[in-house]
Structure 1
């Protein structure tokens, strides 16, 4: 194994020498870590840049169908939970059943817990068989889980199906940003990564209103049809992703530097001898070579499982720990801002604000439309506004509605019928919150973790961040129903506090990553 690694180092070094020939770059500066991250610009950012880069936009959009699958499940479950047909088939989810809060939260959260498990294994798969094939493997898990959920005869089978489907959802949600970050030009990376959140929201909107329509069907078809339809977009992703190139950064890591050059050329729609293509290629080779040399110095002779474990531990070393804190912190604060409390349990929350059952269902369907309103400008302006600003002001903008909601819920909760205007104010505050979330932390959770890690650590770093995301999501999914029952308006105080802490976190720790190549970002840390 060590001999094989030495051969790969030698091969990359030869490619590096070839790439550096006649450029004026100094070999010593690259060996010393500085100088190989060359500044590269391909054109405009925002909408103009997206329109001028249709091929890479298409690749990113298709990869983001994994996000669509995740969003679809979120939209499905929030409405299915209140279907009489579903509650009859699975009586543990009926509000009158003993342990209703736990059983509902546990069943909802099993998909999230499965996502946590998937993120532990995905980095090894993505580094071994490529980002593209790893997405196809994830789709297989997702489809198996969807089949079990669709056909589930009892509560136990439903939980198992959601756990297996969760492995697929978790790896899809992680794999798309990883692939997108590695194929994107620097000035479009933020906008393209926002596609993940955009597709999550679109998936949630479509699935919610599909389920809203099928609820009028008699019997189990009312919820089995929406469960089954989620396989369609995921399967298309698993097959069609192979139309597009491999990640050039993964190709270099796999000792396929020439293929990486061709992949860059295809993605950028420029010839291989274009100075910008050559500069980006040199930067990738230099970065991968440097990380390999560091790994060999720090872990001499390590192979197999030991090397894999040491790779995970590298995320907590001094030179990497800040990246890990930023990536994991953003994921933690995204979930503890309370977004999935609204997504999963919106009908219950709106009913608690004095709305009727039917109105609560319609208002719940509008939540994801509110997110969509926020995500679209984020996709266009993410690279102009910057990540740091969104991390700070987005958190403050989410904390304020939570605070006001706590106040009005605490004062008027016992008599909403006499204060219907205040109830509608509560509804408006929910929408303000989700719009701000869609503009800020919704995109940031997919953008920052995919950007801040080095090539050698990116798969594991994104995997760890997504583990934090899914574990936090699981905690929220399980905890919110009992919280609503026991502390009522205190739930809003809980989420408001975490939003304001997130703003402090953003101010002191989140760097500005927009308009820089991944190799330039590596030098920032």
Structure 2
């Protein structure tokens, strides 16, 4: 339900971003997540309220997800865009780190917390959206959006705040104005821009490539591993506390792995990094599957400690390859490959492909392994 509502939110994100600004798309999404968190936390045992809360969370996430990369690309100086976009993925890793350790701490104190064991985990989802809402008050709207809405003085002031060389500001301002003037001759409405994604051969090719790598991000197996890591580790370990600790350590290492993207994306280039990443991930996935499925089971249902260590090592090594490549670089490539006039719509559409692939891959392959399927 949550992922389905993300798809709906992603579609409306471009409409909201074009009409009211990139900041408003992120702000409204964050507000919806805060509201939905309270709904999901305090409506149970009524299952309908919980499901509704999760659906609203997904919709809010869908509003925010495409707006962030577009905002960064339109605001950041060209020489820093790749590095700053890497931090977009980094903070996904930070969020996972916080979530894993909170979950581990609550599980260790489950007896004293009672039903608040899960309510605390749910309620703390408000923390980061509150930071986003607060931070947006201190962030300017993008100069491009201001020019697009004929607010030239405000656009110029934003460039003064965000550029080091005042001598280049006038030239950049003129470049933006000329680009938007040209784009208006081609498409002057949001719906026309959506149409252009499929009627222009060059744009259509880029759309298919961007959709392909976004689907490929899900085909890599990273999200499936995140969803079912506990089930995978139960084939090797018997202690739930030990499994949750491993997940928390993985969340910690993911931050360090993602930091590699801040220099790798510009040093190696986008395409080589994707190729290196997919090769490394494939080796790790095949090796981990062989270790888990082809080693003998002990009397207590687990595997030997050496098998456990090998499995955890391969899962962490997989993350080392994934995070800077198909984790961060997919977002960078997707946000860079489209021209400014269609970027909001194109990023929204291609990230929808990512969300749809996530729905299918999280559910269907796992169901094949269940008894009687």
TM-score, normalisation: structure 1: 0.66
Q: Does 1:223 align with 2:106?
A: no
Distance 1:443 1:288, change over 3 A: same
RMSD between aligned residues: 2.1
Match of 1:250 among 145, 148, 154: 145
| Structure 2 counterpart of 1:332 | 215
| Counterpart for residue 82 of structure 2 | 190
CA distance in 1, matches of 2:69, 2:265: 15
Q: Is the 8 A contact 1:341 1:480 kept in 2?
A: no
Distance 1:393 1:418, change over 3 A: closer
Matches of 1:132 and 1:487 in 2, distance apart?
49
Q: After the TM superposition, list the runs of 4 or more consecutive aligned residues in structure 1 that deviate by more than 4 angstroms.
A: 413-419
Taking the aligned partners of 1:418 and 1:360, their CA distance within structure 2 comes to 14
Structure 2 equivalent of residue 126 of structure 1: 17
Larger Rg: 1
Distance in structure 2 (CA, Å) of the matches to 1:418 and 1:202: 31
Query: Contact 2:10–2:65 (CA<8 Å) still a contact in 1?
Result: no
- Aligned match of 2:312: 427
Residue of 49, 74, 77 corresponding to 1:157: 49
Is the CA contact 2:25–2:67 (under 8 Å) kept in the aligned structure 1? yes
After superposition, residues 89-488 of structure 1 pair within 5 angstroms as 110-153=1-44, 154-215=46-107, 216=109, 217-271=112-166, 274=167, 276-295=168-187, 308-316=190-198, 317-412=200-295, 414=297, 417=302, 419-485=304-370
SS in 1 for 2:78: coil
Listed one character per residue, the Cα deviations across residues 136-166 of structure 1 (whole Å, up to 9, x for unaligned) are 1111211121111111313332221111011
User: 1:327 & 1:125 partners in 2: Cα distance?
Assistant: 22
Aligned length: 366
- Where structure 1 has 5 or more consecutive residues not aligned to the other structure, the ranges are 1-109, 297-306, 489-525
- Conservation of the 8 A alpha-carbon contact between 1:138 and 1:171: yes
* Partners of 1:363 and 1:214 in 2: CA distance: 15
Distance 1:375 1:206, change over 3 A: same
Aligned-partner Cα distance in 2 for 1:431–1:175: 30
**What is the alpha-carbon distance in structure 2 between the residues aligned to residue 323 and residue 257 of structure 1?**
31
Q: Is the 8 A contact 1:130 1:246 kept in 2?
A: yes
